[in-house]
Structure 1
Amino acid sequence: MKNFFLSSRIISCLMLILLLANSSCSQNPKISKNSAEYQYSEAKKAMSDVKFEKAIILTGEIINKFANSEFADRARILRIVLLAGLNEGHANMAEAYISGFEKSIKNAGALRSNAFDYYRKQKNEALGFYEACDFFLKNFSDQTPYVLDCEFPSKDFTPNRTLDEIRGGTLPDSEHRKTAEEVELCNGVISSLTGFLGAGGDRARARRLLEGGPKPLDHAEFIVMLGRTLLDDQKLFGRTGLNEIQNYRQFYQKSSECAELALKILKDKPNKETQSLAEQLKTELEALEKKQAKTS
C-alpha cells in the first residue's frame, strides 16, 4: 500500500513537470526555420559574427521570399548599411594599392592590378547599393517608421597596418592581403553602421544604441546618408580605366534626389544639424554640376 501511494506521488510529480513544460513551450513557441523572422535572426547573427557576405545573401532571400513583411523592410535597411560598408572597405583597399603603385617601380604592375581588382569589387557593391537606394526612395513614405535592427560586429575597429605598408609600395603576400581585406571590410561596415545610426564616429555610442534593440531611424538623416554615400560612389565611375559616364550621371542624379527629399522632410520636421548636412550635400552637388558644365 505504501509503495502504491509512493508510485502515485511520483506519477503526479511527473505529470506536473510535463504540464509545466508544455505550458512553457506554448508561451515560447519555436520559430519556424522557413519564416522571415528566423531568417532575419540568422542575418543578424551573421552580422555579429562578421560574416557580411552571408548576411547580404540572407537579406536578399528575405526580400525575395517575404517581400511584404516587416522583416523585408528591415532587411532592406540592413542591406543598405552592409553594402555601404563593404563598398567603403574595398574603396580603401583600392586606394591603398593605387598609392603604392605610384611609389613603387619594382611592384608597380602587381599593385596596379590589385587596385583594379578592388575597384571592380567596389563597383559591384556600389551598383547594389544604388539599386537598394532606388527601391527605398521609390517606396518611401514619411508615415512609415524605418528601423535599423542588427547586432554590432563582434570585432571592433582595427588599425590596418598592412594598408600603410601597401601605400608605401610594399606588395603583401596572399595571406597578408587576405587578412588586410578582412580587417578593412569589418572597419568599413562598422563605419557605415555608426554613420547610419547617427552616432558620427562614436563607435561606443553606436554599440549602446543597438544594445537597446531596433533603432528607429530619422528619415531626413538617413536619406542624407544615402545621398552622401551615392556621391562618394559616383567618383569611382569617373576614374580613368573605369570611366562610365552613364553610371557617373545616374549616381549624381540619385544623390541629388536624396538631398532634395531630405530638405523637403526638414521643412516639416526641422533639425539644425541634419539641415546643415543636407545643405552641405546640396552645395557639393551644385559645385560638381558647375564644374561639369565648364568641362563639357
Structure 2
Amino acid sequence: MGVEWRCRRITWSGGEPGLRWEGGKVSPLVYGRPLAFRAVGVRRCPGARGNPCPLAAAVPGRATGGMCAECARLDRAHSVAADTVADDPQPYRVYLAWFGPGMTKVGITAEARGGARLLEQGAVAFSWLGRGPLMAARRTEEVLRQALGVPDRVAYERKRAARHPLPPAADRAREVEELYRRAREVGGWTETLEPLEFAPHDHAGAFRLDGLPPLAGTVTELTDGGTVAGRLLAAAGPDLHLLAPDGRCLALDTRLMGGWALRRAGEEDGFSVPVTAVAAAASDPDAQGELF
C-alpha cells in the first residue's frame, strides 16, 4: 500500500505555490514537473483555524469549501471578509485587482500580508490604492464598489477562462491604472485613508501564465480511486493548470483536494476524475513531495 497524505490546501509562500498537508508539511509545486496522485477513501473535513474537525465529518466531493457546516461557521466567524471583525488594530490596504479583460474588483487585506491575498485570489495584476484602519478600509471598499460599478467577487470560471490567452502586460497595467484614476476621483475616502501612488504589480510570471494552451476543461470533483496525472503548466490562486497525458489542458481547483487522502500515482495511470468541458462551465454565471 502506498503512502497516504491528507491534503489541506494550496499555499503561496514567497510568491511560490505549494500544497499544505495535514500536520503542516508543504510540498513545493514545480512548473514543468509531473503531478500524479490518486484519491482514496472518503473526503473528510480538515477542520478550521488550525483545529481538527471533532467529527472528522464526511464532505461532498464537489464542495470547494471542503468543510462541514460547523467548521465552516467557525472559519467564517473569524474572517475579515465576513465583516465580523471590527476591532483589529493592524493597518489594512485597499487594492484594485485585475483578473482578465473587464474583470476587476476592489478589496482589502491586512498590510502585514503584503500581496499574498492577491496571489491567493489569482489576481493577474493589481495596484494598491490606500492604507489605514480596518473600518476605514472597509467603508472605502464598499463606496468604491458602488461608485465604480465593480463586483465584490469574480467567479473562478471566468478567471480561468481569461488566462487562455492573456492580453499583453501593458494592456493589463493600463486597465488597472484606469480603475485607479477613477477611484481617486471618488470623493471622501481620502479623509480616512492614506492614498498610495499607483504602482502596477503583475503575477503572470509567478503564475507562469504566458503561452498557456487553450483550456479544455475543469475538474469537477475528486473520487475514491480517481487519478490526476499530468504536467504542471501553471498555477493561479487555487487553480492548477495541467497538461494531461491526452494533450488536453485541464484546470484543477485545489480547494477540491482539501480533506482527501492522496496516494502517489504514475503518469501511466491517466486522468480519470470527472471533468466538465469549458463551454459548459462558462455558461454558469456564478459559477507532499512523494506525490510529485
For normalisation by structure 2, the TM-score amounts to: 0.26
* Higher relative contact order (CA closer than 8 Å, sequence separation 6+): 2
Higher fraction of helix: 1
Higher fraction of strand: 2
